[in-house]
């Protein structure tokens, strides 16, 4: 919101008798008193007067940006989010000062996150989902202003949205970006374990490429090493157990392949890996059974 001191400093530069100061004071008071519709009208009038006033000379860029910020605040408070987004774009073109720019970006973040979290938009008189719009707003902020106080929040919430909507490749990309570019973020711990989840979801089955298992395993082990007291250690260990079972199932498939081409010694190598990795599992029991069959048969092949 426009601070009283900043407003007075700007207003002091306007000639005596100019109606603009009184318009801005009324607009600010309406906003602070919760009269948002009135505040919107007053700020819109102030902008029009600033740009097309009595002498035809527009006010300076920083002041115009401040007035537009007041309008954006009023629109945000009255839940006219799309209009607030439009006004913040105008702020960027008004030569804003650092404080005005930072607050305009924060407003865009608040709206983007609100949309991403389920707030609807009104389009042609209908309430529609705005999640994709929120994702677009956050992505734009991340790309254009990557080091704002809220940037890591924007990256994390975008990643989480992708994960919840079964887009694990995009989720992994955003979680990795957070871990790489914002190592001091409060979201680092959840991002570490959720990155593992995102990778694990990309594995279609043990008969497909299992390379991502190594990446997922690295994320879970790093979580256990760096954040042992964050509350998700049990889930990380369970995920590592799932990875071990999937790897064992893959080893069994490879062993069966070698047995099919009459290479029992090669098959035995993979069966013994199963015994080493998950000795108390169903996969290990199957590996022992197959090894026993290999041993009981005459040695052929290999």
| Exposed / middle / buried, residue 226 (Cβ in 10 Å: 0-12, 13-18, 19+) | exposed
Q: What is the pLDDT of residue 245?
A: 94
Q: What is the pLDDT of residue 50?
A: 82
Rounded to an integer, the average pLDDT of 251-273 is 93
Q: Higher pLDDT residue, 20 or 108? A: 108
Residue 119 has pLDDT above 60, yes or no: yes
For 1-113, CATH number? Answer: 1.25.40.10
Report how far residue 56's alpha carbon sits from residue 36's, in angstroms, rounded to the nearest whole number: 29
Report how far residue 144's alpha carbon sits from residue 109's, in angstroms, rounded to the nearest whole number: 12
Rounded to an integer, the average pLDDT of 263-274 is 93
pTM of the complete model: 0.83
Q: What is the pLDDT of residue 205?
A: 83
Residue 127 has pLDDT above 80, yes or no: no
Q: What is the pLDDT of residue 55?
A: 58
Q: Kindly state the DSSP code that residue 13 receives in the 8-state scheme.
A: T
Q: What is the pLDDT of residue 54?
A: 59
- pLDDT category of residue 298 using cuts at 50, 70 and 90: low
Per-domain boundaries in the chain: 1-113, 251-302
- Could you report the per-residue pLDDT of 145-177, keeping only the tens digit for each? 999 999 999 999 999 999 999 999 999 999 999
Q: Which long-range contacts (CB under 8 A, 24 or more apart) does 63-68 make?
A: 63/10, 63/13, 64/94, 64/95, 65/91, 65/94, 65/95, 65/96, 65/97, 65/100, 65/101, 65/104, 66/2, 66/6, 66/7, 66/10, 66/96, 66/97, 66/100, 67/24, 67/43, 68/43, 68/94
Q: What is the pLDDT of residue 174?
A: 98
Report how far residue 55's alpha carbon sits from residue 158's, in angstroms, rounded to the nearest whole number: 47
- Could you report the per-residue pLDDT of 216-251, keeping only the tens digit for each? 999 999 999 999 988 899 999 999 999 999 999 999
Structure tokens at 198: 């995102």
- Could you report the per-residue pLDDT of 52-89, keeping only the tens digit for each? 765 556 666 788 899 999 999 999 999 999 999 999 99
Q: What is the pLDDT of residue 241?
A: 94
Instruction: Name, in order, each residue with C-beta under 8 angstroms of 36's C-beta and a sequence gap of 6 or more.
Output: 30, 74, 77, 78
Rounded to an integer, the average pLDDT of 10-32 is 76
Asked if 212 and 199 touch (Cβ cutoff 8 Å), the reply is yes
Asked if 40 and 31 touch (Cβ cutoff 8 Å), the reply is no
- Could you report the per-residue pLDDT of 179-203, keeping only the tens digit for each? 999 999 999 999 999 999 999 999 9
Longest Cα–Cα distance in the chain: 109
The CA-to-CA distance between both ends of the chain, in Å, stands at: 78
- The enclosing H or E element of 123 equals strand 121-123
- pLDDT category of residue 279 using cuts at 50, 70 and 90: very high
Rounded to an integer, the average pLDDT of 273-301 is 87
Instruction: Name, in order, each residue with C-beta under 8 angstroms of 183's C-beta and a sequence gap of 6 or more.
Output: none
- pLDDT category of residue 125 using cuts at 50, 70 and 90: low
Asked if 167 and 159 touch (Cβ cutoff 8 Å), the reply is no
Q: Using alpha carbons only, what angle is made at residue 87 by residues 162 and 64, rounded to the nearest 5 degrees?
A: 140
Compute the mean pLDDT over every residue in the chain, rounded to the nearest whole number.
88
**266 φψ region: left (φ > 0), alpha (ψ -120 to 50), beta (else):** alpha
Q: What is the pLDDT of residue 19?
A: 81
Rounded to an integer, the average pLDDT of 247-257 is 93
């Amino acid at each position: 919101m426009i601070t009283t001191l900043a407003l007075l400093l700007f207003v002091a530069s306007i000639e005596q008798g100019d109606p603009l100061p009184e318009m801005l004071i009324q607009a600010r008071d309406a906003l602070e008193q919760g009269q948002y519709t009135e505040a919107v009208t007053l700020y819109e009038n102030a902008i029009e007067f600033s740009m097309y006033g009595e002498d035809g000379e527009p006010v300076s860029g920083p002041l115009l940006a401040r007035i537009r910020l007041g309008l954006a605040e009023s629109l945000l408070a009255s839940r006219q989010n799309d209009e607030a987004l439009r006004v913040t774009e105008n702020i960027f073109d008004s030569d804003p000062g650092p404080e005005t720019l930072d607050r305009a970006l924060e407003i865009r973040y608040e709206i983007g996150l609100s949309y991403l979290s389920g707030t609807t938009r009104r389009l042609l008189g209908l309430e529609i989902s705005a999640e994709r719009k929120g994702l677009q707003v956050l992505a734009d902020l991340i790309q254009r202003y990557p080091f704002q106080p809220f940037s890591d929040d924007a990256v994390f919430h975008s990643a989480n949205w992708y994960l919840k909507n079964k887009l694990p490749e995009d989720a992994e990309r955003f979680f990795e970006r957070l871990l790489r570019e914002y190592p001091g973020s409060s979201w680092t711990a959840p991002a570490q374990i959720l990155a593992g989840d995102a990778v694990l979801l990309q594995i279609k089955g043990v008969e497909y490429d299992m390379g991502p298992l190594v990446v997922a395993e690295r994320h879970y082990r790093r979580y256990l090493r760096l954040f042992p007291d964050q509350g998700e250690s049990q889930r990380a260990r369970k995920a590592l157990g799932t990875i071990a079972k999937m790897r064992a199932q893959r080893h069994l498939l490879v062993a069966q392949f070698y047995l099919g081409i009459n290479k029992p010694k090669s098959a035995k190598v993979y069966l013994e890996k199963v015994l080493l990795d998950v000795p108390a599992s169903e996969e290990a029991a199957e590996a022992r059974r197959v090894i026993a069959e290999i041993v009981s048969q005459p040695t052929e092949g290999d």
